[in-house]
Chains A and B, each alone.
Chain A
Amino acid sequence: MVKDQEYLQAKAEYCLSLAKKLGATNASVTVANSISETVSFRNKTLDESNRSDNLAISITTYQNKKKSSISSSNLLDENIRTLIEKCFEITKITPIDEFNSLPDKELLGKKIKDLNIYDDTHIENNKKIEYLKELEEFASLEKKIINTESSFTENKSNFILANSDGFCDGYKTSSFSASCITVAKDQNSMERDYDYTKKRYLNEIKNPKELGKVASENTVKKLKSNKIGSEKISIIFDKRIAKGILSAFASAITSSAISRGTSFLKDKINQQIFSSSINIFDKPDLIKGIGSQSFDTEGVHSDTIKLVDKGYLKEYLIDTYNGKKLNLKSNGRSGGATNLYFENGQINYNQLLKINSRSLYITETIGHGVNIVTGDYSVGATGFLVENGEFKYPVSEITIAGNLNDMFKNITLANDLSFDFATNSPTMMIDGMVVAGK
């Protein structure tokens, strides 16, 4: 069982009182416990079982405007004492930074809303095994599938965040996730693809049959791929890739990137950065949301924010430190975005496929080719050539490139948004990008 609130709270209070006793003017502490149980299958037989029990404590001590942090997984009081002493010693010789402080008291989270992000249900390993057996049965129906790998993970976590201004709160969360990776082979090539499901509640995960079938279908249709020529072509991003474009946006509007001047979106508040049809929300109180939170990693209350309104950038993701530097109040985003999503577009998926007589549909990208400073974007990709709304043949060993400034202004969205991850996008089309191939 995951450690209860009383245990975590006692550890947190011990840390705060010790830090005060040593002379810290302020302190904050997070104590967390997380237990995961994973079972993995390969080719219809058991491959791995893994139980992980993680304790973690992290403490920040302040001496006025000086600050330092320590973290540890060893929660014995004696070890904590040694570490806090060390932390405070380091704090004393660390230079002053005028922006160091605990969050403003009036911004702290007050009443925790039940977001339905903890399901107490426990699924025994033999039940996980049943799920995976059924999943792999359906994943391997197709003859070209030569390898199946799947896993099921149950996670339960609990934490307490406390600071010397009297904030002390925390809550349990749970998640259940399953994944399936399949490999397909023909005479000339091998391909790999996957499907994945993750939910807060056990009874909401995809059924094993669907997961296995989708993974194997995704994989088989990638066989016999071609490399296409280098050209300018409109790109359609599958939902699972489109969310990455939204993540790039989120990292470019964190207050740290803005205050350091290392974002291509610096000074773009109230300017149009997306096409006028685009609205972007970040909603921390989504019921059962994968990214939901009652307060951020500093204890600051967070509300839903419309980050982009009709293409205009309205707000950054702000934490206490960088907020003070920018002369802005924290909006409870010290851990970044929560449940981030594009509002649905006006047309359906099939209409999106048919907008152009010829487009490239991307199902996977590889590489880390997004530069937040310049907005330059260049990644390896695989997908399908689409003509008149129909999938013609798989395409691989190509790259797609552009600049996020231009890409954002040329986005068209379908109306198929669903909340499968913390960051979610409908299927997305971007005009004007360059494909490099033959």
Chain B
Amino acid sequence: MINFFEKSDLSRNDAENIVSDTLKNCDDGELYFEDTKSETILLDDNKIKSSNYSSDLGYGFRAVSKEVVAYSHSNEITKDSLKKSSENLKSTLKSIKGTYNHSIIRSNKKFYKDINPIEQKSLNSKLEILNKVNDYLRKKDAAVKQVTASFSGEQKSIEIITLEGEALTDVRPLIRFNVSVMIEKNGRKEIGVYGIGGRQSYDQYLKDDNWKNVCEEAFRIASVNLESIAAPAGEMKVVLGPGWPAILIHEAIGHGLEGDFNRKKTSAFHNLMGQKVANEKVTIVDDGTIENKRGSLNIDDEGTPTERTVLIENGILKNFMQDRLNARLMKTRSTGSGRRENYKHIVLPRMRNTMMLNGKQTQDEMIKSVDKGIFAVSFGGGQVDITSGKFVFNCTEAYEIYNGKIGSPIKGATLIGDGPSILKEVSMVGNDMMLDPGIGTCGKAGQGVPVGVAQPSILINKMTVGGTKL
């Protein structure tokens, strides 16, 4: 564990005193230290294009009273800098008094190992794999015109100091391995992208030449898209494949169930607690406790242990995701969902691994039931307007369905729907639930955090497909 006071004129005792002096008349707050080591190694255009190593250190000091958050962060861990931050917080909150009333639950459960993935594998062996990826794909087919492959890894160490002088710590490894391939045939170009990752060492993902599977998948997606025809435009039935397409759940439902938007009543879900918001076949949870997954955390960024939170059970809205601020104001408890991108940002309620659980039907049944529609297997990304509930996501691999049979691949199209009504349109839930491969980053208020998603295949009765073929 990092000692944040080792090379500083600030002692732990000084820090505790400044924290208790600053927060004594506040409802909440903490001093958050963070040290992140990260690397990115990129192969592109037949060459190792860049190798970057980064080391980031800083603190974020937060004081909260009533609804007001005062925040100050700096890279300089010194007595002088922390005192300046303290004055800044006190001046913001001088006329707003609060009462600190939190007992932190302690948990010894760990969902990933305390390792530094960067140091666990030599740079030479990472370079070697990237070069193998390039050779493998270019030899596979002369139509391959561009290959990009990258490793990124980090180790983030955090320490939270509370008003009572408690210290809560976590060490979080995270890696990602990504391959992108461009194929050109008959004057057409298409790209296929695939990646894997999570909170483990690189070798856990790359054993048994697993990098070849990643290459094959990227190549397959690009090849499929080379044959793609114009996507249809208009409302139709949509079958979503298992795994990564669950970003539909993330965008359509997940963001709308975050505590802050519901406390502020700006979410389309804010008055629907306890009501039926989905077909009764639908159960959705947000789980921070899945071993080694990208969205998992031992403790959240306020020190609360993470948990498995049931959001929707058999179609009924059961819980929102909460950090401490929104939980206190909504008179409920934190679900361990308080997260921040890094020490430069305030805590917000965020998703971890958001999952729709298995039903009983098969993907085959779904496809057979569709006269005209599309089958969407993979997506690039999505976005939601929390207030109107409208959300989109972009297909990167999809096919037409005609008379119960899968037809031609279609060009990347945007799908658009309405969050509060989409889950009522889910008419079949499959028995083939899959976790995504560990590549998701969720953006909110300018902060990106790693997340996961999972779902079985599902059939949606009606969605608008944004193609060009009328």
A residues neighboring B (CB under 8 Å)? 42, 45-55, 67-76, 78-79, 83, 86-87, 90, 93-95, 97, 125, 146-147, 183, 189-192, 222, 227, 229-232, 259-262, 364, 366-369, 371, 373-374, 376, 378-380, 382, 396-403, 434-438
Task: Tell yes or no: B105 within 8 A of A by CB.
Answer: no
Task: Tell yes or no: B220 within 8 A of A by CB.
Answer: no
Chain B min CB distance to A195 (Å) = 16
**A89 to B40 alpha-carbon distance, docked (Å):** 16
Q: Which of B42-50, B106-114, B163-171, B365-373 contacts A (4 or more CB under 8 A)?
A: B42-50
Chain A min CB distance to B74 (Å) = 4
Task: Tell yes or no: B393 within 8 A of A by CB.
Answer: yes
Chain B residues whose C-beta falls within 8 Å of the C-beta of A73 in the assembled complex: 55-58, 75
Bitwise interface map of B from 69 to 100 toward A, beta carbon under 8 Å scored 1, else 0: 11111111000010001001001100010000
Chain B min CB distance to A27 (Å) = 15
Task: Select from chain A the residue with minimum beta-carbon distance to B66.
Answer: A45
Residues B388 and A83 in contact, CB atoms below 8 Å apart: no
Chain B residues whose C-beta falls within 8 Å of the C-beta of A397 in the assembled complex: 390, 416-418, 464
Task: Select from chain B the residue with minimum beta-carbon distance to A98.
Answer: B47
Given contacts A48-B70, A48-B71, contact A262 B191 (CB under 8 A): yes
**A74 to B47 alpha-carbon distance, docked (Å):** 31
**A262 to B75 alpha-carbon distance, docked (Å):** 38
Chain A residues whose C-beta falls within 8 Å of the C-beta of B468 in the assembled complex: 378, 401-403, 434
Residues B234 and A436 in contact, CB atoms below 8 Å apart: yes
Given contacts A71-B52, A368-B383, contact A190 B413 (CB under 8 A): no
Chain B residues whose C-beta falls within 8 Å of the C-beta of A70 in the assembled complex: 52-55
Residues B388 and A379 in contact, CB atoms below 8 Å apart: no
Task: Tell yes or no: B145 within 8 A of A by CB.
Answer: yes
Of the listed residues A95, A366, A396, the one surrounded by the most CB atoms of chain B closer than 10 A to its CB is A366
Given contacts A73-B57, A262-B146, A397-B417, contact A366 B72 (CB under 8 A): no
Task: Tell yes or no: B25 within 8 A of A by CB.
Answer: no
Q: CB < 8 Å: which of B71, B390, B469 contacts A366?
A: B390
Q: CB < 8 Å: which of A90, A189, A262, A367 contacts B393?
A: A367
Residues B69 and A47 in contact, CB atoms below 8 Å apart: yes
Chain B residues whose C-beta falls within 8 Å of the C-beta of A97 in the assembled complex: 47-49
Chain A min CB distance to B54 (Å) = 4
Residues A232 and B266 in contact, CB atoms below 8 Å apart: no
Of the listed residues A49, A68, A396, A438, the one surrounded by the most CB atoms of chain B closer than 10 A to its CB is A49
Residues A260 and B390 in contact, CB atoms below 8 Å apart: no
Residues A48 and B68 in contact, CB atoms below 8 Å apart: yes
Task: Tell yes or no: B190 within 8 A of A by CB.
Answer: yes
**A67 to B266 alpha-carbon distance, docked (Å):** 49
Given contacts A51-B88, A379-B466, contact A368 B381 (CB under 8 A): yes
Give 13 CB contacts A-B under 8 Å. A42-B264, A47-B67, A49-B69, A50-B69, A53-B72, A68-B53, A72-B56, A79-B55, A90-B123, A95-B127, A260-B44, A380-B383, A438-B234
Chain B stretch 217-256: residues in CB contact (< 8 A) with chain A: 231, 233-235
Known pairs A191-B387, A366-B383, A380-B391 / 16 extra A-B pairs, C-beta < 8 Å = A45-B68, A46-B68, A51-B85, A53-B74, A53-B81, A70-B53, A75-B75, A93-B127, A183-B266, A367-B383, A382-B385, A397-B390, A399-B464, A401-B414, A401-B468, A402-B468
**A396 to B411 alpha-carbon distance, docked (Å):** 23
**A434 to B232 alpha-carbon distance, docked (Å):** 10
**A207 to B52 alpha-carbon distance, docked (Å):** 44
Residues A436 and B465 in contact, CB atoms below 8 Å apart: yes
Task: Select from chain B the residue with minimum beta-carbon distance to A66.
Answer: B48
Residues B48 and A94 in contact, CB atoms below 8 Å apart: yes
Chain A residues whose C-beta falls within 8 Å of the C-beta of B182 in the assembled complex: 261-262, 373
Task: Select from chain B the residue with minimum beta-carbon distance to A435.
Answer: B233
Chain A residues whose C-beta falls within 8 Å of the C-beta of B57 in the assembled complex: 72-74
Residues B233 and A50 in contact, CB atoms below 8 Å apart: no
Q: CB < 8 Å: which of A49, A369, A434 contacts B470?
A: A434
Chain A residues whose C-beta falls within 8 Å of the C-beta of B268 in the assembled complex: 190
Chain B min CB distance to A42 (Å) = 7
Q: CB < 8 Å: which of A94, A259, A436 contacts B464?
A: A436
Given contacts A47-B69, A50-B71, A73-B56, contact A232 B470 (CB under 8 A): yes
Residues A369 and B466 in contact, CB atoms below 8 Å apart: yes
Chain B residues whose C-beta falls within 8 Å of the C-beta of A229 in the assembled complex: 234
Chain A min CB distance to B261 (Å) = 10
**A230 to B235 alpha-carbon distance, docked (Å):** 9
Q: CB < 8 Å: which of B44, B45, B52, B264 contacts A69?
A: B52
**A76 to B266 alpha-carbon distance, docked (Å):** 45
Task: Tell yes or no: B124 within 8 A of A by CB.
Answer: yes
**A206 to B211 alpha-carbon distance, docked (Å):** 53
Residues B414 and A399 in contact, CB atoms below 8 Å apart: yes
Q: CB < 8 Å: which of B54, B191, B233, B390 contacts A396?
A: B390
Task: Tell yes or no: B434 within 8 A of A by CB.
Answer: no
Chain A residues whose C-beta falls within 8 Å of the C-beta of B47 in the assembled complex: 95, 97
Task: Tell yes or no: B359 within 8 A of A by CB.
Answer: no
Chain A min CB distance to B198 (Å) = 23
**A147 to B346 alpha-carbon distance, docked (Å):** 21
Chain B min CB distance to A89 (Å) = 9
Chain A residues whose C-beta falls within 8 Å of the C-beta of B392 in the assembled complex: 366-367, 369, 379-380, 399
Bitwise interface map of B from 177 to 200 toward A, beta carbon under 8 Å scored 1, else 0: 000001010001111000000000
Residues B75 and A378 in contact, CB atoms below 8 Å apart: no
Given contacts A367-B392, A373-B182, contact A90 B418 (CB under 8 A): no
Chain A residues whose C-beta falls within 8 Å of the C-beta of B55 in the assembled complex: 70-74, 79, 83
Task: Tell yes or no: B12 within 8 A of A by CB.
Answer: no
Chain A residues whose C-beta falls within 8 Å of the C-beta of B387 in the assembled complex: 183, 190-192
Residues A367 and B7 in contact, CB atoms below 8 Å apart: no
Chain A residues whose C-beta falls within 8 Å of the C-beta of B388 in the assembled complex: 189-192, 222, 382, 396
Residues A373 and B190 in contact, CB atoms below 8 Å apart: yes
**A435 to B48 alpha-carbon distance, docked (Å):** 43
**A368 to B54 alpha-carbon distance, docked (Å):** 28
Chain B residues whose C-beta falls within 8 Å of the C-beta of A79 in the assembled complex: 55
**A71 to B39 alpha-carbon distance, docked (Å):** 10
Chain B stretch 448-470: residues in CB contact (< 8 A) with chain A: 464-470
**A95 to B126 alpha-carbon distance, docked (Å):** 13
Task: Tell yes or no: B409 within 8 A of A by CB.
Answer: no
Given contacts A73-B57, A146-B265, A436-B467, contact A48 B416 (CB under 8 A): no
Chain B min CB distance to A191 (Å) = 6
**A402 to B394 alpha-carbon distance, docked (Å):** 14
Task: Select from chain B the residue with minimum beta-carbon distance to A39.
Answer: B92
Task: Tell yes or no: B295 within 8 A of A by CB.
Answer: no
Residues B56 and A367 in contact, CB atoms below 8 Å apart: no
Of the listed residues A53, A72, A79, the one surrounded by the most CB atoms of chain B closer than 10 A to its CB is A53
Residues A48 and B412 in contact, CB atoms below 8 Å apart: no
**A285 to B244 alpha-carbon distance, docked (Å):** 45
Given contacts A52-B344, A190-B388, A379-B392, contact A94 B146 (CB under 8 A): no
**A435 to B388 alpha-carbon distance, docked (Å):** 20
Chain A residues whose C-beta falls within 8 Å of the C-beta of B412 in the assembled complex: 369, 371, 376, 378
Which 5 A-B residue pairs are closest in the complex by CB-CB distance?
A399-B466, A380-B392, A436-B233, A192-B387, A367-B392
Chain B min CB distance to A271 (Å) = 15
**A279 to B394 alpha-carbon distance, docked (Å):** 31
Task: Tell yes or no: B437 within 8 A of A by CB.
Answer: no
Given contacts A190-B268, A230-B233, contact A42 B67 (CB under 8 A): yes
Chain B min CB distance to A402 (Å) = 7
Task: Tell yes or no: B380 within 8 A of A by CB.
Answer: yes
**A382 to B415 alpha-carbon distance, docked (Å):** 14
